[in-house]
């Protein structure tokens, strides 16, 4: 019996969209990838270039260009299309209104096509845009996911792996809240080899005398801008993050990933979208993991959610007139 093909549409044929598709192809994630771009010719070119990888991969992935109206039978639609920051901008909220307008242009025809799968959003400011896609689509919250702090958590692990000279995959922990200026590291839940980081530092003060956790958190937050100011975009890390989330959905892997999730009571928050760990499976978000934050961390989380909520309140009435903003 012929099995059902796993189909993914990537809306945005720029660096992030191409990086995501390239990661998926090389990791054998999905059977079909449809590239969609504002300029159809660019989507065609990206699809052709990507299709020429097949000789050198372990799994054949069909890659082609399409349109928003072709998304009806997709399992996942990944939205990477959005506005680009200009030199001097160092806050993702600066491009909110431009990206929000693009998100509406994209989401409405996709839903009209009959799409009934899972949205994954990477366009910045990702927490606000994920909330907006949820509002426009009318989908249940578990089927609208943002990349959120997945990439920040990866950056955190990489920084700590350099300090402790270990594999990043032996570090566990999360950056939480906004994928932006108000994010924070939940240090109370960072472990190395299963041992709490704070315990390690207490026991080995002489070994790590210069380790400053505030500095690590700052470098985690600023890593994206450090890349952007040097080469004008981020591509590979976020592309792999998108592929990682898509793989957990398509293979129903039940991985715990820090993603932008619509909160309805979790962490004491309502009607806001923020980066928190969640179990990702075949239907999207299976369950949001509520960490027991310290009092200080809870205050930081509430502040971060308020920054995101301010962005939602600023743009939602413009993009969806007569909407009720809570």
Taking only the tens place, the pLDDT of each residue in 22-34 is 999 999 999 999 9
Local confidence band at 326 (pLDDT 50, 70, 90 cut-offs): very low
Residue recorded with tokens 């009209």: 112
pLDDT, one tens digit per residue, over 208-230 is 878 899 999 999 999 988 888 89
As given in the structure block, the two tokens for residue 52 are: 């020429």
24 is in an annotated binding site: no
**pTM across the whole model:** 0.94
pLDDT tens-place string over residues 109-135: 999 999 999 999 999 899 999 999 999
Q: Is 275 annotated as a binding residue?
A: no
Strand locations in the chain, DSSP E? Answer: 7-11, 32-36, 62-65, 76-79, 118-121, 144-146, 171-172, 175-176, 184-185, 191-192, 195-196, 255-264, 270-281, 284-288
The answer to whether 15 is a known ligand-binding residue is yes
Residue 154, annotated as binding a ligand: yes
Active site residues: 179
Contacts of 175 (CB under 8 A, 6+ apart): 149, 152, 153, 155, 156, 183, 184, 185, 186, 217, 220, 221, 258, 275
pLDDT (tens digit per residue) in 155-173? 999 999 999 999 999 999 9
Domains of the chain: 7-146 (3.40.50.720), 150-317 (3.90.110.10)
């Amino acid at each position: 019996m012929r099995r059902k093909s796993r189909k993914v549409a990537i809306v945005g044929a720029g660096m992030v969209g191409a990086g995501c598709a390239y990661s998926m192809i090389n990791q054998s994630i999905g059977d079909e990838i449809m590239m969609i771009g504002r300029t159809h010719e660019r989507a065609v070119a990206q699809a052709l270039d990507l299709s020429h990888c097949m000789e050198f991969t372990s799994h054949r992935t069909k890659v082609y260009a399409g349109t928003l109206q072709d998304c009806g039978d997709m399992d996942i639609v990944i939205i990477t299309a959005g506005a680009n920051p200009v030199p001097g901008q160092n806050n993702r909220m600066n491009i909110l209104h431009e990206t929000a307008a693009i998100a509406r242009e994209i989401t409405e025809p996709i839903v009209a096509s009959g799409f009934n799968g899972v949205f994954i959003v990477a366009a910045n400011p990702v927490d606000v845009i994920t909330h907006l896609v949820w509002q426009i689509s009318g989908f249940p919250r578990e089927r609208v996911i943002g990349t959120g702090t997945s990439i920040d958590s990866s950056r955190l692990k990489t920084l700590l792996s350099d300090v402790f000279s270990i594999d990043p995959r032996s570090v566990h922990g999360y950056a939480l809240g906004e994928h932006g200026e108000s994010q924070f590291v939940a240090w109370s839940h960072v472990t190395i080899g299963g041992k709490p980081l704070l315990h390690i530092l207490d026991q080995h003060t002489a070994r790590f005398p210069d380790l400053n956790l505030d500095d690590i958190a700052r470098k985690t937050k600023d890593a994206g801008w450090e890349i952007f100011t040097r080469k004008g975009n981020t591509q590979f890390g976020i592309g792999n993050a998108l592929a990682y989330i898509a793989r957990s959905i398509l293979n129903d892997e039940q991985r715990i990933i820090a993603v932008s999730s619509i909160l309805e009571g979790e962490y004491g928050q309502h009607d806001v979208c923020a980066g928190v760990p969640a179990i990702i499976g075949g239907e999207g978000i299976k369950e949001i993991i509520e960490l027991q934050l310290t009092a200080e961390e809870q205050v930081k989380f509430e502040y971060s959610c308020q920054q995101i909520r301010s962005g939602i309140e600023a743009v939602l009435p413009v993009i969806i007139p007569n909407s009720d903003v809570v």
